[in-house]
Structure 1
Amino acid sequence: MTDKPTRGRRSKVDLLPEPIRRELDAMLRDGRLTQQDILDGINDLIEQHNLPEDMQLSRSGLNRYATRIESIGKDLRELREVSNALVSQLGDKPTGDLSRMILEIGRTQLFKAMMRQAESPNEEVDIGMVKDAMLAAQRLEAAAMSSHRREKEIRQQLLDEQRAKLEAMPNQGGVTEETKAAIREALGIV
């Protein structure tokens, strides 16, 4: 990728209709296709959609786009590896579905920012947006942890109530101390 400033003109790939661009991205992800196969397939799609002939992609245009996407993909893979390493350090600390969803949205926004940066290397990335997203994720995670603690307290209270009821149960009708011990163990109220 070059650091040469561009005239701000959108590439042919950026001008393609969304369904064709999605197909191009899918073809690039499919490691079995050669760039020539992809070029032929996309240009056939452009023709089938009755787009002007000047919308046809060139080999160099496709290569520039594929290189840009691979660079961003590499950055995302590295980000995912770092995220996975951090998550594994959290162990069994909970993350709710909402927290996971927000983190995924954050990753998506980061991906979009990286795409913009790759397309316009001289344009600055909105660090404020990234900071705000990370702060929101941190707050959501704190709320998830608080919710988890509250759930744990409620479960403990229920177990304490069950333990008290079991202790109050008289040893009669086949209920012995051994039976009560087995019930306590099965319920996890040892």
Structure 2
Amino acid sequence: MGKKARKTGRGRPSSIDQLPEDLRLQLNADLRDRRKTQTEIVEGINEALQGRGERRLSKSAVNRYSLAIEEKGAMMREAREAANALVGGLEEQKGTDLGRALTEMVKTFAFDIVANGGEQNLDTLKDLALITQRVEKASKISLEREAVIRKEAIENAAETVEETAKQMGMDSDQASFWRERVLKGM
């Protein structure tokens, strides 16, 4: 059979949702710790609850919660892999804010597609990834061009300083000193 139909509305909070914040955080940390069994985790949380006079957790509630977290984690990993496959190594490049925003959009969109189990938006995701790659490539070319122009401008300024220094009566060593000072500002 297919997936379960999603419930609409808020519904009743689960026993996990009703845990005090510190114990819910502890439960999450314990579930990430692969050295502990679920039985040990439930016993530890129940001891803390009993000490506070609170209602105990059932093993099945913790199991359902653990499975739900694992399912969401698997979906996130799958979405991250899909986005990385489509976008490639763009994250490693220093690009524009627009490029980074587009990369994040691709990742978010990929997660939505995986989370909803649909392939209907896969073409849109591919198009968005292609646009992101093109924006990042254009940004990289623009940044490289700016660097070349900036370097040429500083070199021209250094030449002008050196020539002006010589015209003002400085010897070659003094003029070269000031030229180098301008170049060090690069």
TM-score, normalised by the number of residues in structure 2: 0.58
Instruction: Name the aligned partner's letter for residue 5 of structure 1.
Output: G
Q: CA offsets per residue over residues 123-150 of structure 1, 9 Å max, x none?
A: 4352211111111101211221232133
CA-CA distance at 1:108 after TM superposition? 1.5
Q: 1:10 aligns with which of 2, 6, 14?
A: 6
| RMSD of equivalent CA atoms | 4.4
The higher-RCO structure (CA 8 Å, 6+ apart) is 1
Contact 1:94 1:144 in 2 (8 A): no
2:56 is aligned to: none
After superposition, what is the alpha-carbon deviation per residue over 1:98-155, rounded to whole angstroms, capped at 9, x for unaligned?
Answer: 21121112111112222112xxxxx435221111111110121122123213322431
Contact 1:94–1:148 (CA<8 Å) still a contact in 2?
no
Matches within 5 A, 1:98-117: 98-117=98-117
Relative to structure 1, the CA distance from residue 104 to residue 60 in structure 2 (aligned partners, 3 Å threshold; closer, same or farther) is same
SS in 2 for 1:106: helix
Tell me which residue corresponds to 2:174: 179
User: Are residues 1:144 and 2:139 paired?
Assistant: yes
Structure 2 residue runs without a partner (length 5+): 32-37, 47-59
Greater CA deviation, 99-108 or 170-179?
A: 170-179
Mapped to 2, the partners of 1:147 and 1:111 lie a distance apart of 31
Q: Which residue of 2 aligns with 1:86?
A: 89
Once the two structures are superposed, residues 71-105 of structure 1 have per-residue CA deviations (whole angstroms, 9 ceiling, x without a partner) of 1243356568879x9358x6xx6411221121112
Instruction: Pick closer, same or farther for the CA change 1:76–1:131 going to 2, 3 Å.
Output: closer
Highest CA radius of gyration, 1 or 2?
2
Query: 1:135 is matched with which residue?
Result: 130
Match of 1:70 in 2: 73
| CA distance, structure 1, for counterparts of residue 75 and residue 140 of structure 2 | 32
Contact 2:158–2:182 (CA under 8 A) maintained in structure 1: no
Match runs of 1:46-61 below 5 Å: 58-61=61-64
